Structure 1
Amino acid sequence: MQYKFTVLDLGDDIDIKRLMREKSSHIEYIRWEEPFKFRYSEGMVYVYSFGAVVGINIPSKQFNSLLSELDEYVIGDVKHTSIETLEIFQGKDKDIEIHEDKIYLPKIDDGIIYITSFVLAQSVSLNRIEQKTNILIDEIEKFLSTKGKIAKGRKSLSLAMKILKTRHEILSDIMILDKPDLAWENELYDQLYQKLSRYYELSRRYKNVTTKLDHAFEVASVLLEIHSESKANFLEWMIILLFVVEIAMTLIEKIF
């Protein structure tokens, strides 16, 4: 028994409800970490609301056609990541083995397919988050290296707000790193999840992203403080100027 998984991240979010209305005769409630599943070509498709699409036993050409169809359900910008693949095989050993994007398992069932799909979806979505974070850090460094513009209120506030907004979006998406409920209920599923998580280095990549986000947040806080101080100084000078104008007008009235 053999299954080939092909996975890609389409963008920040996918409109699952709309997709279900147009791809299924009935709409069922699914939790956010659960995929919407439907048959396509020769295999199955798992679509996750956080942006990932997993094709199971779907040929490359058909998978590309599928992606074109799903692009219209993306909320926000469509940003295809590179396609990743993984194959699972049913072996004779009781242990789980992973070698060069191939997994050998003592058995393959719906739970195995679910866990494998979920980890792959986590990995490609984390890849998108990594790219987004790197772009944000580059923008911060470019702004900080611009001489004479750090204390300019509007630009610093605009960048600070962008940092905070992006941090919020990324932290929301990072919740995809939660362990699926199914892994808590079955020892084999839990072992598979742990091994795949280590294979795709989810924990290390997560820590790397959060470190960069913490740095971005610190910079955002400093920029907001600079803007606040600049605004306060401006108001103080405006008050002083008003006092000076008032005194000058009083003197003019008394003289003339």
Structure 2
Amino acid sequence: MDPIKFKAASLCNEINLNQLAKHFGFEKKFQWDEPLFLSSNQLKGILKLPENKSAYIFSFGSIVFLNFEHHEMVDLVDYLKNIEKELFNASIDYFDDYSLILDPDEDVTVSYDYMSIPELKDFYFEIIAVVLAKSTALDRIEVGINILLDDIEDMIHFLEKGHLNISDERLARVSGKILGFKYNTISYVMLLDKPDITWVNEESQNLYNELEKLFELRDRYEKIRHKTETLLDITDVFTSLAHAKRGTRLEWMVIILIFAEILLSIIMYIWK
């Protein structure tokens, strides 16, 4: 049996699963922590060769493709763009892959690139898909945080030179992005939550814990959390300095107005 190839991509912050589910004929309402599974039957008409192919779509913007070629991944994403507006500008920039190998003569072996198993069990697919989806979503968040750090670094250089010409709009925009990264990491990516199947199947729980550790999901989450808190502390400093500068400017304006009023009163008294 050929290896089952998993290819994961993080496309955006959020995908409306219920919108997609309605299009594909699912009557149930999907919860925020449930992936939408598309089998080869749902992929007919989208892919030329849908046999033995499937996909997991996650609400936090990741899709995991099973046995897809790259052009087939593009075909599915382009198809979904016509249904879900959040995917309209999506591109496959954050990507990871993994293989599941069936080898009856070997015990279960888990490595960074592949997993070898003696027999197929349904939960293997979902657990691998969940971990890969979270990992690629973290990749996208990490890149965004690093870009924001560069932006903050430029602001610090201006401050070191004695300049503080930072608008409230820019500070609000930066703070909003930082909070957005923090919110996306905790709520959308659901890093601290395990799939439901792990609560009823001890073997699936052990596998999830092992893959979570292998892909360093919690360590990467902690680094993102630390960076976002550091960035928020820095923006708080900028906000305080900017407000202090405006307060000083306002005080000088009041002093100048008082002085002008006194001067005007003196001039009016002399002219009398």
TM-score normalised over the length of structure 1: 0.89
Is 108-117 or 88-97 further displaced after alignment? 88-97
| 1:63 is aligned to 2:76 | no
Q: Which residue is 1:164 aligned to?
A: 175
Percent identity between the two aligned chains: 26
Structure 2 match to 1:16: 17
1:53 is the counterpart of 2:63: yes
Contact 2:112 2:214 in 1 (8 A): no
CA gap of 1:246–1:30, structure 2 versus 1, over 3 A, is same
Aligned equivalents of 1:18, 1:9: Cα separation in 2? 19
Aligned to 1:112: 124
Give the aligned partner of residue 207 of structure 2: 192
- Paired residue secondary structure (2:18): helix
Q: Distance in 1 between matches of 2:147 and 2:259?
A: 48
Which amino acid is 2:178 matched to?
R
Q: Where in structure 2 are the equivalents of 1:228-247 lying within 5 Å?
A: 228-247=243-262
CA RMSD of aligned residues (A): 2.2
Letter in 1 for 2:14: D
**Structure 2 match to 1:182:** 197
Q: C-alpha displacement at 1:26, in angstroms?
A: 3.5
Deviations 1:40-81 (A, max 9, x none): 222111111111011112333322211222345352752432
1:217 and 1:195 map into 2 onto residues whose CA distance is 33
Structure 2 unaligned residues grouped into runs of 5+: 44-49
Give the Å deviation of 1:184: 2.5
Q: Which residue identity does 1:38 align to in structure 2?
A: L
**Which residue is 1:25 aligned to?**
25
- Check whether the contact 2:112–2:215 (CA below 8 A) recurs between aligned residues: no
What is the aligned counterpart of 1:83 among 95, 112, 136?
A: 95
When structure 1 is superposed on structure 2, of 36-45 and 100-109 the one drifting more is 100-109
Q: Confirm or deny: 8 A CA contact 1:14 1:48 kept in the other structure.
A: yes
Paired residues in the alignment total: 253
- Residues 220-249 of structure 1, C-alpha deviation per residue, up to 9 Å, x if partnerless? 100110111011112111211121111111
Q: Give yes or no for contact 2:179–2:228 (8 Å, CA) kept in 1.
A: no
Q: Does structure 2 retain, via aligned residues, the 8 Å contact 1:81–1:124?
A: no
Contact 1:160 1:221 in 2 (8 A): no
Give the aligned residue type for 2:115: I
What is the distance in 2 between the residues matched to 1:26 and 1:149? 60
Query: Could you report, residue by residue, the CA deviation over 1:5-63 in whole angstroms, capped at 9, with x for unpaired residues?
Result: 111111222232322232x1244211112111223222111111111011112333322
**Using a 3 Å threshold, how does the CA distance of structure 1 residues 162 and 206 change in structure 2: closer, same or farther?**
same
Residue 190 of structure 1: how far off its partner (Å): 1.0
The superposition leaves residues 177-208 of structure 1 with CA deviations (integer Å, 9 ceiling, x where unpaired) of: 12223222221111111111122111221122
Do 1:144 and 1:150's aligned partners in 2 also have CA atoms closer than 8 Å? no
1:152 counterpart = 2:153: no
